[in-house]
Amino acid sequence: MGHNKSFHLILFIFLQFCSSIHCFKSTFDDDFAAILHDHAFKALIHERPHTGALHNASLPANLAGIQVSAVGLRSKTLWRKGANFSGFRIPPKSLPVPYVRRILIVYHNLGNWSSIYYNLSGYSLISPVVGFMVYDASHLSSKNRNFPKLELNTMGKSISIEFHTSTLARGTQERGKCAAFNAYGKVFLMGLAATMVVKSVAEKRTQEMEKEADDGEFLETYCIDSSKMPRASVTRTNPVLESTNLPKWSWYA
């Protein structure tokens, strides 16, 4: 049982036209992501990172325009406080899956490379493509940069992404769309007249779990520090886009 959303890589862009996307061409593969993230790992190891501090990676000249940053966190801190870095806000009561004591979150902003790696026929990008991955940082050292990828269980809550208003030309809020591309190639669209968030479709299953607990059915738990959290198997689900009132914008780190 259990119903979680995995956020291996969430990519957000703004699109200037308002027709449907049936497919897209992306040349941003795991190998290129590994190159970017390796620079983040090097920066962390070289700077002797402090837990909870964001570190910006130095990229070679041939990758100018791309921004990569990383932060190391304890899982119990992520559970208590969530994480708010580089325009991404991961809510409290989130856990890595499988559970580890320490995690590494690597963020990237493709900047002016976005249109090179995400070529959508008939669409014009008006903001950069951004994303993040989560890794097991239990054994962070100069000799080991092969960190396993993890998923996130947000307990049905939203991960939000903020953009700065200067990325939007006048009038594009009415005509534009926001697109999210998940790690499995699916595309999700929504208009710009609202705050964009990615929300795991987990409410129904969460209610079922709560009912099972009320009825006395045993649920496994994690014990982190003095907190107990439900433990459930992972089911990959598709996110949906949710709107509120007005968009919030901020610079990336």
What confidence tens digit (pLDDT) does each residue in 106-150 have? 999 988 888 887 766 666 777 788 888 899 988 876 566 678 899
Structural domain contains residue 20: yes
In this predicted structure, what is the pLDDT of residue 20? Answer: 41
70 pLDDT exceeds 60?
Answer: yes
In this predicted structure, what is the pLDDT of residue 240? Answer: 46
Q: Is residue 150 a contact partner of residue 5, using CB atoms and an 8 Å limit?
A: no
101 pLDDT exceeds 80?
Answer: yes
Structural domain contains residue 22: yes
Structural domain contains residue 47: yes
Structural domain contains residue 4: no
In this predicted structure, what is the pLDDT of residue 18? Answer: 35
* Phi and psi angles of residue 224, each rounded to the nearest 5 degrees, phi first: -125, 115
79 pLDDT exceeds 90?
Answer: yes
Structural domain contains residue 59: yes
Q: Is residue 45 a contact partner of residue 141, using CB atoms and an 8 Å limit?
A: yes
In this predicted structure, what is the pLDDT of residue 252? Answer: 33
In this predicted structure, what is the pLDDT of residue 51? Answer: 75
Our count of domains for the chain comes to 1
Structural domain contains residue 2: no
Q: Average pLDDT in the 98-112 region?
A: 92
In this predicted structure, what is the pLDDT of residue 32? Answer: 80
Structural domain contains residue 94: yes
In this predicted structure, what is the pLDDT of residue 66? Answer: 92
In this predicted structure, what is the pLDDT of residue 162? Answer: 78
Structural domain contains residue 247: no
More confident of the two residues 177 and 82:
82
Q: What is the pTM of this model?
A: 0.65
Burial class of 112 by CB neighbour count within 10 A (0 to 12, 13 to 18, 19+): exposed
Taking alpha carbons only, the member of 11, 14, 10 closest to residue 178 is 14
54 pLDDT exceeds 70?
Answer: yes
Residue 156: count of CB within 10 angstroms of its CB: 19
Top mean-pLDDT range of 16-30, 122-136, 210-224: 122-136
Which structural domain range is residue 197 located in? 11-242
Q: What is the pLDDT of residues 170-205, one digit of tens each?
A: 555 556 677 776 666 666 666 654 443 434 334 444
